Every structure is written in C-alpha cells, then in structure tokens.
C-alpha cells in the first residue's frame, strides 16, 4: 500500500506529533557534551558533567525552553468534549390534538433513546 519512503514519512510525522523531536535533540546535546567534556577529563567525569544538570549547554537550554513553551500552549488550548447524544433528559409536551403519525414518531424516538432491555437469564 505505502512505499518504503511513505512509511518512513508517516513514522516521522507520528514521532514529531508526539514530541519525539525534543528527545532526539536532547540526545544529540548529551552526545556533544560528552564528547566535549571527555577531551579535558576522563570519560567517567565527562558523563558525570553531562548529566549533573549544572553544566547545561545551549542546546539543552533550548530544548527545555521549547518543552516549556509547548506545555504552556497545550494548557491554554481549551478542550471541548464532543457530545453526539445529550445526557440530559428531554421532556416532550404534546398538544391534546396529537395525530397518530406524530405520536408514532415521538414513541419511535423514545424507543431509540432509551437503553435496551437486558436479555433474559440463560437456562443452566
């Protein structure tokens, strides 16, 4: 159905819509920081400096700011619940001169709006 390139594009679009781009950028920042710190110190010290939170690079700060802005935008967007069937009860007041077809239409609507009756118990 999809070509290989189409599947890759769909996977990338899904990853970016879920916020994976921030994780990818953070991993790139950690790798760059580890490489930079390991030039002046041992590998263990470079790992420790990378993940201690005190030595954040520009890319780490950019990722943090981007995540915060994205969270602020998502909290300001109001979420509306789509109601296809109203949960409120509706009372129909029919005039005294209701015709048979009008009564049938109202009773048909009521029969579809009420929950179905439970099935009878099964014989053992």
Confidence of residue 94 (pLDDT cuts 50, 70, 90): low
pLDDT at 34: 92
Q: Is residue 105 part of a domain?
A: no
pTM attached to this predicted model: 0.52
Asked if 60 and 52 touch (Cβ cutoff 8 Å), the reply is: no
Q: Is residue 93 part of a domain?
A: no
Who's near 110: CB < 8 A, 6+ residues apart?
Answer: 92
Looking at residue 99, its pLDDT comes to: 62
**Which residues constitute the domain of residue 36?**
4-76
Q: Is residue 48 part of a domain?
A: yes
Among 34, 78, 84, 90, which residue's Cα sits nearest to residue 57? 34
Domain assignment present for 67: yes
Which of 8-12, 38-42, 63-67, 96-100 shows the lowest mean pLDDT across its residues?
96-100
Give domain status of residue 84, yes or no. no
Query: For a pLDDT cut of 90, what percent of the chain falls above it?
Result: 14
**Closest C-alpha to 29, from 4, 65, 1, 3:** 65
Mean pLDDT value across the chain: 79
The proportion of the chain whose per-residue pLDDT surpasses 70, expressed as a percent, equals: 64
Within a domain: 54: yes
Please give the tally of structural domains in the chain: 1
User: How sure is the predictor about 78, in pLDDT bands with cuts at 50, 70 and 90?
Assistant: low
Asked if residue 90 is part of any domain, the answer here is no
Q: Residue 56 falls within a domain, yes or no?
A: yes
């Amino acid at each position: 159905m999809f070509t290989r390139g189409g599947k890759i594009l769909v996977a990338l679009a899904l990853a970016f819509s879920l916020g994976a781009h921030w994780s990818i950028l953070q991993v790139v920042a950690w790798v760059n920081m580890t490489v930079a710190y390991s030039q002046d110190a041992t590998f263990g010290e470079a790992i420790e400096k990378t993940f201690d939170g005190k030595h954040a690079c520009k890319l780490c700060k950019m990722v943090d700011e981007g995540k915060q802005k994205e969270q602020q935008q998502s909290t300001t967007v109001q979420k509306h619940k789509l109601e296809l069937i109203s949960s409120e009860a509706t009372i129909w007041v029919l005039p005294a001169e209701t015709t048979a077809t009008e009564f049938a239409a109202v009773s048909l609507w009521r029969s579809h709006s009420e929950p179905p009756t439970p099935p009878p118990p099964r014989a053992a």
